[in-house]
Structure formats: C-alpha cells, structure tokens
C-alpha cells in the first residue's frame, strides 16, 4: 500500500470523525470557546536563536508501527525539562493511537505551546483544536489553494498558529500563498515511505520569510546540525525522541 493511499485513508477517517463531531456540537458555541481559550505563542517559541526543538508524543505511526506506550503528561514534562521549545501531540486514534485527552494531559503539566497533530480536513477540527491547543497542523496535500488559505485564516482568527506541512515545490508555493508564517517540510516521501533530508535542503530556499520546521528523519545530532545549516529554525522529532531519552537535550545543546 502506498503512502499516498495511507494518507487518503487517514483523511477519509478524519472526515468521518469530523462529521460525527458536527452532528453533536453547536458550531457557534465551539467557535466562541476557541476564541476565548488562551493560547501560548507557538510561532514565537520557534523564533529564538539557535535550533528550536518540537518534541512529539506518539505511540505509533504507519511507517514505524508501534513505538512504545506513553504517558503524555510524563513525556511532556520530560521534554520541557530537556529544553524543548514546543510539544507536538498526535491525536489521530487509529494509526497513531492518540487522542485529544493525550493533548490535554501534556499541555496541563507544561508551559510549552502545543500543536495538535492530526489530519485536519474540516473547519470544525480547527475550531476543536482552538479550544485546547496552541497550533494546528494543516497538510498542504489535503487542500486546494483556496481551501488552504481559508483554513490558515480561520486558525489565525481563533488564535492558533497554523503549521502548514509541505513535501514538494508546488506545495511550497501554496504554503506561502496561503499566508502561513510557519512551514514544515516533511522529509518523508508520501509515496514510498523513504526519508531524505535533502528534501528540506532542496525546498528551504523557496520559503524565504517563513519560520521553517524540518520534519521526519532526524535521528542524530548530526542530522539536526545538517538541517540547521540548511536553514531550519526548528526540527520536529518524534520516533527518535520517543525511543531515546536525552535525545532532545542533545539537540537543544547543539553547538
């Protein structure tokens, strides 16, 4: 099964969850709650000098399978103590074994800004993120130009930082046109699961003016150094951070 198909299936499942949420939720009330929820400055946290680290809490993924069991509060506190700038929490329940409760637990015990990482395909999910997170992931491959711009605008309207994730040159252009301030370059190929840090190196020069996050494939301090030298303001580390206590601290202290 290709990764594109996996992405399609994850998006379809997310759409079904969104439809169920809309059936049971007063959207105007949800919008008001999102407006009132006090946000932490996710984008600002990534603009500090040096390489910022977004540490991820995830139990599993389609590429890695089951990684490890995790207590989100314990991990969130550990990542903060190691110097992470932000947290990323997977809330997708099927392939990643995550939940909104994981996000709440991690955010409750830290002062770090937290991004809800999921497959956002409906505006109700942006509003839902706005009631408990500080940032929301928007995967450019799931949107056309007009939709992406609308979702970026809605996220900003309710105080969220939208992190627009891209994989190629066309999506790089799309991200800037959408008004995104923070752009994530995913080094994982959507079709065959391979990881190439050269993806970030190739696309970084097209994203002048944005805060750049390198995602996927960061397994060593040397990887972090390579991406920093290519223009990364931050790296998002998931599997490596989950498997290796201390990895975040080593990245943060990169000379």
Q: Tell whether the model's pLDDT for residue 122 goes beyond 60.
A: yes
Percent of the chain residues past pLDDT 70, beyond the cut: 96
Report domain extents, the chain.
3-252
Confidence of residue 1 (pLDDT cuts 50, 70, 90): very low
| pLDDT, mean of residues 93-111 | 91
- pLDDT score at 67: 67
For the entire predicted model, the pTM comes to 0.93
Record the tokens describing residue 244, joined without a space: 């290796």
- What Å distances lie between residue 141 and 89, 155, 185, CA to CA? 20, 18, 12
- pLDDT score at 239: 86
| pLDDT, mean of residues 62-91 | 89
Q: What is the pLDDT of residues 194-241, one digit of tens each?
A: 899 999 999 999 999 999 999 999 999 999 999 999 999 999 998 898
The residues facing 186 across adjacent strands are: 215
| pLDDT, mean of residues 31-53 | 96
Q: Which of 61, 63, 129 is nearest to 97 (CA)?
A: 61
- pLDDT score at 254: 87
- pLDDT score at 191: 67
Q: Tell whether the model's pLDDT for residue 28 goes beyond 80.
A: yes
State the CATH architecture for 3-252: Alpha-Beta Barrel (3.20)
């Amino acid at each position: 099964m290709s990764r594109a198909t996996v992405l399609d299936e994850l998006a379809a499942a997310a759409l079904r969850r969104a439809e169920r949420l809309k059936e049971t939720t007063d959207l105007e009330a949800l919008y008001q709650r999102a407006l009132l929820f006090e946000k932490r400055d996710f984008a600002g946290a990534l603009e500090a000098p040096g390489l910022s680290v977004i540490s991820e809490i995830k139990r599993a993924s389609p590429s890695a399978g089951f990684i490890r069991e995790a207590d989100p509060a314990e991990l969130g506190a550990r990542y903060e103590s190691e110097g992470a700038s932000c947290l990323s929490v997977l809330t997708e329940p099927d392939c990643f074994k995550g939940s909104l409760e994981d996000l709440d637990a991690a955010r409750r015990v830290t002062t770090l800004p937290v991004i809800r990482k999921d497959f956002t395909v409906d505006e109700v999910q942006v509003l839902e993120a706005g009631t408990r997170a500080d940032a929301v992931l928007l995967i450019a491959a799931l949107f056309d130009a007009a939709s992406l711009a609308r979702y970026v605008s809605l996220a900003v309207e309710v105080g969220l930082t939208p992190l627009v994730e891209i994989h190629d040159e066309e999506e790089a252009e799309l991200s800037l046109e959408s008004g995104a301030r923070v752009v994530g370059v995913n080094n994982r190929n959507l079709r065959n699961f391979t990881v190439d840090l050269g993806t970030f190196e190739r696309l970084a020069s097209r994203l002048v003016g944005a805060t750049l996050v390198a995602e996927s494939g960061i397994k060593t301090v040397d990887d972090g150094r390579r991406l920093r030298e290519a223009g990364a303001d931050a790296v998002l580390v998931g599997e490596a951070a989950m498997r290796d206590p201390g990895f975040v601290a080593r990245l943060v202290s990169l000379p």
